[in-house]
Structure 1
Amino acid sequence: MLQLSLPRIRYMTKPSLMNKRYTLQIPDPCSQKWSEMTPQADGRHCDQCDKVIRDFTSYTDAQILSAIENEKVCGRFRPDQLNRTYKRHDESSKRWISVFATTLALASSSSAESQIITPTPTDTIHDSDTLKVVEVTNKNQIILRGNVSDKETGEKLFQVYITVENTEYKTASNFDGDFELAISEELVENGFTLKFTSYGYDGIKLIFAPNEYKGTFINMECTAQYMGLLGDVHIVEHKRWWEFWK
């Protein structure tokens, strides 16, 4: 009977990440509070550990992989960035993907030249890749304005989703934490609930009674769920089936 060993754990000391799959883990989280650490260029200095904790909470997967392949890392992560699979392909794989994408683009362009596409007009809802914005056509509209920040650090939060409960009204905060959302005057008259949601943060509901909203600027502070996810990062390599014979 074939016995399969568990994935082996090793420290991130310049590993080769090409064409492999990994999971990031923090087995021994740091107990220090992020807000009490000294700000540095790429993160904050922890006096207890006497090292700089790098802030990866706004990094993409590619940026994280680029950082961990060159040095041993102690970092701050969101829950959704840990204990999941990261993939990285070698340059030859990237070239094949690039060739395929270029070929597909040329084929699509050639096909499009022989067609005349008339867009279907819409009066209310516009779909984008990341969010749905409802355009209020009623002249009697109200513009909600506000800002979202981290309750502990005061940092402005990007891509916090703000929605009006039980409606299609939705927007998201920009890089400065600011947001604007146009809603109907009828909603204000009847009362409404604003929901604030973001990865790694507790959801918040802000309830307005009928006619309670008077155009006040909304300052919302969100509580992070990942305050304890600080520390030395370990990397778990997932071996493929043929590698168990090596």
Structure 2
Amino acid sequence: MATSFKITIDAPCTQQWAGMQEHKDGRFCTSCQKSVVDFTQFSDFELKNWLAKDQGKSCGRFRPAQLNRVIDSKSNFSMAGFKPGLVAASLIALLSFPKPTQAIKVKSYPVSQGDYSNKSVKSLVHERAETALVTIKGTVIDKGENTPIIGASIKVNGLPTGVVTDNEGKFEIVLDRNKFKKSVVLDLSYIGYQSQYVKINLFKKDKIVIRLKAGNYILGGLGIIKQPTMFEKISKFLNG
């Protein structure tokens, strides 16, 4: 296959992905009796490798951003298995979003003069430091399939840093209660899903479960448009 190419779907399928039977590499469409491969988490490099073997004969599920654009597949970064288990993207997100504890400064508190032992002083400071922090724990799942989302980005409005969900879709954020008195707004995002803002009450201890809705996907038989190489462009120009 050419280094650069485009993927098109001229006649999108009207069947619902959620209503299809689970099948190897995706789902099985009983309407057209074909396997539908889930390409939504494929990298450009993986798309090229798959389509080179398949010769564009597959039916697929794509993100709109994957279609009708020139795909240059020189990169060999892999995103296979991103849902439910993409470790690579989690690592990238971790590098992009430092741990929030780096932005938190625990204030020191003055201790009244008196006959305190070292142990008592340390206990008092530790207790006050603990009460100055608040921890938010929760889980991010797919709204339609109720499966954990791994590597989802979670940022707190007002802070430049954030965290990502682990391999169970769980996250934990530690904040300075002096900066966030009653509530915070979480900004959640994940590739292939609609971004979402969630307001969290810091005084409630309820279990936090956030459901992200998948973005708009396109299903159907795909076509491959080969992009001419530089040599082919020059040859065509010279030969008129």
SS of equivalent residue, structure 2 residue 236? helix
Counting only pairs closer than 5 Å after superposition, residues 25-40 of structure 1 correspond to structure 2 as 25-40=8-23
- Within 2, Cα distance between the matches of 1:234 and 1:183? 49
Q: 1:187 to 1:23 in 2, by over 3 A?
A: farther
135, 141, 153: which one pairs with 2:145? 153
Q: Contact 1:53/1:76 (CA < 8 Å) preserved in 2?
A: yes
Q: Which amino acid aligns with 1:167?
A: L
AA of the residue aligned to 1:185: R
RMSD: 2.4
Deviations for 1:19-51, whole angstroms, at most 9, x for unmatched residues?
Answer: x21122222221111111101121111111211
Secondary structure in 2 matching 1:207 = strand
Q: 1:57 to 1:177 in 2, by over 3 A?
A: farther
Q: Which runs of 5 or more structure 1 residues have no equivalent in the other structure?
A: 1-15, 95-126
1:13-92 matches, cutoff 5 A: 16-17=1-2, 20-71=3-54, 72-88=57-73
* Superposition deviation, residue 243 in structure 1: 4.7
* Count of matched residue pairs: 190
Asked if structure 1 preserves the Cα contact closer than 8 Å seen for 2:35 and 2:58, the reply is: no
Identity %: 24
What is the alpha-carbon distance in structure 1 between the residues aligned to residue 41 and residue 17 of structure 2? 15
Displacement of 1:189 in angstroms is: 1.9
- Residue 158 of structure 2 corresponds to 166
Shift of 1:188: 4.4
Runs of 4+ in 1 over 3 A off after TM superposition: none
Q: Aligned equivalents of 1:128 and 1:48: distance in 2?
A: 42
User: Any conservation in 2 of the 1:80–1:199 contact (CA below 8 Å)?
Assistant: no
| TM-score normalised according to structure 1 size | 0.68
Q: Which structure has more helix as a fraction of its residues? A: 2
Q: Which residue, out of 171, 182, 185, partners 2:174?
A: 182
- Name the aligned partner's letter for residue 189 of structure 1: K
1:129 maps to what in 2? 95
**Does 2:198 align with 1:232?**
no
